[in-house]
Amino acid sequence: MDTTPAPEPPAAEPPAAEPPAAEPPNPETAIPEAVASETMASETVTAEPATSECTPPDEAPAPDFTPDERARGRALRRAQLPWALGGRLAGLALTLLLGLTPAGAALVTAVGGWFGGSRTAGVLAGAAALVVLGQALQLPFGAGARTVRARYGLVTQGWAGWALDAVRGLALTLVLVLPLALGLFALTAWSPQHWWLPAAGAAALLTAALSFLHPLLIEPVFNRFSPMPPGELRTALLALAERDDVRVRDVLVADASRRTTALNAYVSGFGATRRIVAYDTLLTTAEPREVELVVAHELGHVKHRDVPVGTALGAVGAAVAVAVLGLLAAWPPLLDAAGATDAADPRALPLLAALAALLGTLSGPPQCAVSRRIEARADRHALELTGDVEQFVAMQRRLAVANVSDVDPPRVLELLFATHPSATRRIAAARAWRAAPEQRAPGRRAAGR
């Protein structure tokens, strides 16, 4: 049920086969999921409470969201969308400029010369320059989005903390990218034509490794976690996981309130590292039963093996992407445009980054479409596990209002960026689930209260 934004890697960085989970969670950079989760459908989906037996026939049911709440969500989306889209377009434009013109080759040659001019110096200095330029370009867009979100009360972090997160993100990106660039060009030196064969396998393995290591190594860089104190809620969450036959090691609380007022919870890790994580903002704002519904949704991802399946698909996708890069990087017109002789030439680094950025941009909408289906399935799992439609509706309403979501955004934004269905669609689906018991999963025991 992720509703927090996660920044994408700088568009100008060299190709790295890392899953989205490996991106540092900075709430104010790139397309915020407050935009992505708001960009759901141009047509309004009426998600109104079903008329109960005690409702007079001439009295319309109350809407789930007031006109003011809907207007506030639309206003936030419209205010931050130029910054979010502008950042993406600017990053892509920079990457293409450096990768498809001699400018990138000149940059790699110049910065490599600062460190002796060797091939290794060109690779490492060139990769670092691309990363730094890409992230520097994103700073004003991230700052603009942060300013907008602060006006809506969604930001609690000061500018110093925001800057520190940017430095941490840059350092983490460099730690990941520089060894990858060095290994990549070791393979291109081995065979400028067939380097992509071993690189594809390495990309798949790296994707799987980063997915496993993310909760252990990446998340602690940006958040502090503490065990949830013993009490009724912790007991209820562990009992919920046990009833769902999902093993979790612990229930942790993330100090999200240092950065944002947004609400969220998730289940991360594999096997012995799996844990339930709740934002402290969620625990202080939502009712305990609503927290259970959020966690029940996340358990649905575990139950349906969304993380391992997604990791496997990501590994396959990374391997295919590297293979496509290998074929494109051997095309003489592209090499000539980039000012490189072949894939083994360090001056080809910006070209590889540009091709990777294009592939990532083109694959975004299909990935979002798959993500929306997965999230809808997790919603159904939460309903089947708890049988509590009314609390599910209350939880969706609380998340949408607290996160200032646009509950009926334009369809084009949904198709391009939305990773989750809109709040109105999720509420309507829950009521449809209640009205059609024959469509429920067989053998599921709901435990309502």
Is 275 within 8 Å of 249 (Cβ atoms)?
yes
Is 409 within 8 Å of 39 (Cβ atoms)?
yes
Average pLDDT, the chain: 85
pLDDT for 61 equals 62
Other CB atoms within 10 Å distance of the CB of residue 370: 13
Q: How far apart are CA 238 and CA 215, in angstroms?
A: 19
The pLDDT of residue 261 is above 90: yes
pLDDT, tens digit, for every residue of 400-419? 999 999 998 998 998 899 99
Query: For residue 279, what is the DSSP state?
Result: E
pLDDT bin (cut points 50, 70, 90) of residue 439 is low
pLDDT for 353 equals 97
Work out whether strand 250-254 and strand 265-268 pair parallel, antiparallel, or are unpaired.
Answer: unpaired
The pLDDT of residue 46 is above 50: no
pLDDT for 395 equals 93
pLDDT bin (cut points 50, 70, 90) of residue 430 is very high
* 200-211 average pLDDT score: 94
Is 367 within 8 Å of 411 (Cβ atoms)?
no
pLDDT, tens digit, for every residue of 288-342? 999 999 999 999 999 999 989 999 999 999 999 999 999 999 999 999 999 999 9
pLDDT bin (cut points 50, 70, 90) of residue 216 is confident
For tokens 């989205």, name the residue. 20
Least confident range from 4-13, 176-185, 255-264: namely 4-13
Share of the chain above pLDDT 90, in %: 74
Share of the chain above pLDDT 70, in %: 84
pLDDT for 437 equals 77
* 225-242 average pLDDT score: 94
Q: What is the dihedral of CA 142, 146, 147, 152, to 10 degrees?
A: 150
* pTM of the predicted structure, to 2 decimals: 0.81
The pLDDT of residue 84 is above 90: yes
* 224-233 average pLDDT score: 94
pLDDT, tens digit, for every residue of 357-398? 999 999 999 999 999 999 999 999 999 999 999 999 999 999
Structure tokens at 48: 């109104």
pLDDT for 44 equals 32
Closest by Cα among 238, 271, 262, 239 to 252:
238
pLDDT for 217 equals 84
Rounded to an integer, what is the distance from CA 143 to the centroid of its chain?
Answer: 19
Structure tokens at 344: 């083994």
The pLDDT of residue 81 is above 70: yes
107-114 LR contacts (CB < 8 Å, sep 24+): 107/350, 108/346, 108/347, 108/349, 108/350, 109/347, 112/346
47-50 LR contacts (CB < 8 Å, sep 24+): 47/423, 47/424, 47/425, 47/426, 47/427, 47/428, 47/431, 49/393, 49/431, 50/431, 50/434, 50/435
pLDDT, tens digit, for every residue of 335-346? 999 999 999 999
Contacts with 27 (C-beta within 8 Å, 6 or more apart), sequence order: 4, 5, 146, 149, 154, 155, 157, 259, 260, 262
pLDDT for 28 equals 36
